[in-house]
């Protein structure tokens, strides 16, 4: 079995409204027959590495037969799974390389200051060894790929009836992935990124910026630097921030610490530093049951741990913030075993303060 740049099923543009298709009804006797036939396969799959998860997918798929879903619903699930599987396959060889998603308007002309800034920003961060992810269209997306070049670039394209022609820098590249659905595309943007740079844009750019902030604020995505890049002399994102502070913070629908989750700047130097400094000591994080594990390159001293607890102990559900080695459950990531750890029983809500803790680890340790 071979793969194209995107599976043929994903590349097709469906012009018909499928929700009118009849529901699929499978009788009890038919279901019992199908389950009996499928059981030997599932038993064999369960013995393979990762087979427990694949078996659960098979079970879930079979349950769809009994749920009387219409054909359009089944196509949505099927296409989504295909899109995610294919995208994960494309990203897999590059999993050890840091990546930054660059968002911005598809309508920004090449003569605009934002376009030129995006070209320079992408080139400079690619020169530091990072890979670039954009939506593969024109405007800021083309600037990102043009600045970095095709080799360190990924394109996550979405099929739209307008605006979304693949830019010349990524067209035909094996790292170009075509999506039918925005939600699968957004998932791959966030899942695959270690940082986000947002240049001025329209509804889509606002949506992408707010979504990343929401996912990090709620702990559904790991902490990462988010930088909003304004053109020198422009105030697009400062105007956006006034709305955030006056309306959202003013109405107490976000916490004061949430504004620590992003940075606004007109300086490319500052925009690069915001990303690279975040990983100057901090490496990555994961949960081991209820313990949040922050992997760092340099462990805090005993005195620094005392200061960390004084400043940030309130974000713990119980106990103290401590240093230790790798936990036994982390043996599935052998390349990270030797890194020191900072661990805590995080309350899973104060992500703005958690970001300040990471800043302390980067700046003081």
Residue-wise pLDDT tens digits, 310-332:
999 999 999 999 999 999 999 99
Instruction: Name residue, tokens 């750890």.
Output: 341
Distance of CA 276 to the CA centre of its chain: 17
| Buried residues in 39-65 as b, exposed as e (16+ CB within 10 A) | eeebeebeeeeeeeeebeebeeeeeeb
Counting residues of the chain whose pLDDT is more than 90, the rounded percentage is: 84
Asked if residue 296 lies in contact with residue 361, where contact means CB atoms within 8 angstroms, the answer is yes
Edge-first strand order for the sheet with 322-324 is: 282-288, 291-296, 341-344, 322-324
pLDDT at residue number 291: 97
Q: Over 70: is that where the pLDDT of 4 sits?
A: no
Say if residue 13's pLDDT is above 60.
no
Asked if the model's pLDDT at residue 272 lies above 90, the reply is: yes
CA dist 40 → 34, 72, 113 (Å): 11, 30, 61
User: What pLDDT shows up at residue 251?
Assistant: 96
Res 26 pLDDT > 90: no
Q: What is the mean pLDDT of the chain?
A: 92
Does 215 have pLDDT greater than 60? yes
356, 292, 344: which is closest to 318 by C-alpha?
Answer: 344
Reply yes or no on whether the pLDDT at 308 is more than 50: yes
Could you tell me whether strands 176-179 and 153-158 are parallel, antiparallel, or unpaired per DSSP bridges? parallel
Burial of 73 from C-beta contacts in 10 A (0-12 / 13-18 / 19+): middle
**Per-residue pLDDT for 5 more than 70?**
no
pLDDT in tens, 70-95: 889 999 999 999 999 999 999 999 99
Instruction: Report the candidate in 107, 135, 109 with the shortest Cα–Cα distance to residue 144.
Output: 135
Query: Which segment of 28-37, 101-110, 177-186, 281-290 scores lowest on mean pLDDT?
Result: 28-37
Report the pLDDT value the prediction gives residue 69, as an integer from 0 to 100: 86
The pLDDT of residue 30: 85
Report CA dihedral (196, 199, 201, 207) to the nearest 10 degrees. Answer: 20
């Amino acid at each position: 079995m071979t793969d194209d740049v995107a599976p043929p099923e994903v590349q097709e543009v469906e012009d018909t409204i499928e929700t009118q298709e009849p529901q699929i009804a499978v009788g009890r006797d038919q279901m019992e027959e199908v389950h009996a036939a499928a059981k030997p396969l599932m038993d064999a799959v369960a013995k393979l590495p990762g087979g427990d998860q694949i078996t659960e997918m098979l079970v879930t798929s079979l349950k769809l037969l009994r749920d009387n879903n219409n054909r359009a619903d089944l196509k949505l699930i099927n296409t989504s799974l295909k899109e995610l599987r294919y995208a994960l396959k494309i990203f897999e060889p590059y999993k050890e390389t840091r990546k930054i998603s660059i968002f911005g308007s598809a309508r920004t002309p090449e003569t605009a200051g934002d376009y030129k800034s995006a070209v320079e920003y992408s080139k400079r961060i690619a020169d530091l060894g990072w890979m670039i992810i954009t939506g593969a269209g024109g405007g800021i997306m083309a600037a990102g790929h043009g600045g970095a070049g095709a080799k360190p670039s990924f394109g996550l394209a979405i099929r739209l009836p307008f605006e979304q022609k693949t830019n010349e820098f990524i067209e035909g590249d094996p790292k170009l992935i075509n999506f039918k659905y925005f939600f699968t595309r957004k998932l791959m943007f966030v899942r695959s990124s270690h940082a986000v740079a947002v240049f001025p844009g329209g509804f889509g750019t606002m949506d992408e910026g707010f979504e990343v902030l929401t996912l990090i604020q709620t702990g559904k995505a790991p902490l990462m630097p988010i930088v909003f890049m304004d053109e020198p002399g422009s105030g697009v994102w400062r105007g956006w921030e006034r709305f955030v502070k006056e309306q959202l913070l003013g109405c107490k629908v976000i916490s004061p610490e949430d504004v620590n989750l992003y940075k606004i700047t007109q300086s490319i130097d500052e925009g690069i530093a915001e990303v690279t400094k975040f990983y100057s000591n901090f490496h990555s994080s994961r949960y081991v049951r209820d313990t949040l594990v922050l992997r760092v390159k340099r462990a805090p001293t005993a005195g620094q741990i005392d200061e960390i607890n004084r400043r940030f102990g309130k974000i713990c559900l119980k106990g103290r913030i401590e240093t230790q080695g790798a936990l036994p459950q982390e043996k599935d990531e052998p390349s990270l075993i030797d890194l020191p750890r900072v661990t805590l029983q995080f309350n899973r809500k104060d992500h703005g303060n958690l970001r300040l803790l990471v800043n302390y680890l980067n700046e003081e340790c």
